[in-house]
Amino acid sequence: MDDILELETRRNIFDILKKNPGLHLSKIAQTLKLRVSLVEYHLRYLEKHELVQSDKHTGYNRYFVIGEVKSIKKKNFSILRQKTLLKIVLFLLKKRSAKHKEILNQMDISPATLSYHLKRLINDNILVVDKQGTSRVYRIKNSEELIMWLIKYKPYNLLDGFNEIWVDFTFE
């Protein structure tokens, strides 16, 4: 393994994936200030030598260091590296539970788009829906685990404007 990671560029790609599992090609290139084609070459090399693997869950190939992340959790990386989905999750972590309209008031998207994203989060086992009378209330399925994941992997560090949201994040 040391021979494979001897090249600084390759080692930097490996290290960023170890700290930030689930990044896609262009984000790796942007973060390391490298050409996409160069990063793609090194990722293929790392895959060939079984140090890195890719997973296509949300239309992007997302990359992971082999053995670092359970396959079930790979979906979380893909989902929570998307700005809108992360914003919904952070709002629900802070609020604990909310109706569609309450979430919509915090977002800059249409009601139909919010419904689509909520359904994705439910299907990926991140949210659950409770009935309160005729209303549907959304909440995080396992908030403690999700908070630990957010603390460990800090997906908001790589999204413009999300550091401020996390810094202001407090629990009652």
Q: In what order do the strands lie in the sheet with 23-24?
A: 23-24, 61-65, 52-56
What span, in angstroms and rounded, lies between the C-alpha atoms of 171 and 94? 6
Per-residue pLDDT of the chain (172 residues; tens, 9 = 90+): 678 899 999 999 999 998 888 888 998 999 999 999 999 999 999 999 999 988 876 667 888 888 876 654 656 666 777 788 888 998 998 899 999 999 999 998 999 999 999 999 998 889 999 998 889 999 999 888 888 777 776 666 555 555 555 555 544 4
Extract the tokens encoding 3.
Answer: 């021979």
Furthest-apart CA atoms within the chain: distance in Å: 62
Tell me the domains of the chain and their CATH numbers. Answer: 8-69 (1.10.10.10), 80-167 (1.10.10.10)
What span, in angstroms and rounded, lies between the C-alpha atoms of 23 and 158? 9
